[in-house]
């Protein structure tokens, strides 16, 4: 007779929270890209972002050194970061909220 131990509810809740916790997608400043290029990258990468949103993000990137382009679950955050880097050459990172 085998006995199977099920994980306790607390452990399941901690795992669920870790998997669904939001991540920030951050674009970092560089001397290469223009505001327009950043704005276009944001519009083409993040659903429901407008050119004005992209321009606002580009302004923050230039004036503060970085800006949050999106806050979302980990999987789309990883996709957005990868697209910013591979398709547009932007330096970007993700971090948990």
88 with 27: CB under 8 angstroms?
A: no
Angle 35-45/51-64 helices, nearest 10 degrees? 130
Per-residue model confidence as pLDDT tens digits over 29-45: 999 999 999 999 999 99
Q: 């997608």: which residue's tokens?
A: 25
Q: Is the pTM of this model over 0.85?
A: no
Which pLDDT does position 36 carry in this prediction? 98
């Amino acid at each position: 007779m085998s006995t199977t131990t099920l994980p306790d509810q607390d452990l399941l809740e901690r795992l669920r929270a870790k998997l669904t916790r939001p991540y920030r997608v951050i674009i970092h400043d560089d001397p290469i890209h223009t505001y327009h290029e950043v704005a276009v990258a944001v519009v083409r990468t993040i659903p429901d972002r407008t050119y004005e949103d992209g321009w606002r993000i580009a302004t923050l990137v230039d004036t503060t050194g970085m800006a949050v382009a999106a806050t979302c679950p980990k999987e789309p955050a990883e996709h957005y970061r990868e697209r910013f880097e591979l398709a547009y050459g932007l330096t970007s990172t993700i971090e948990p909220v």
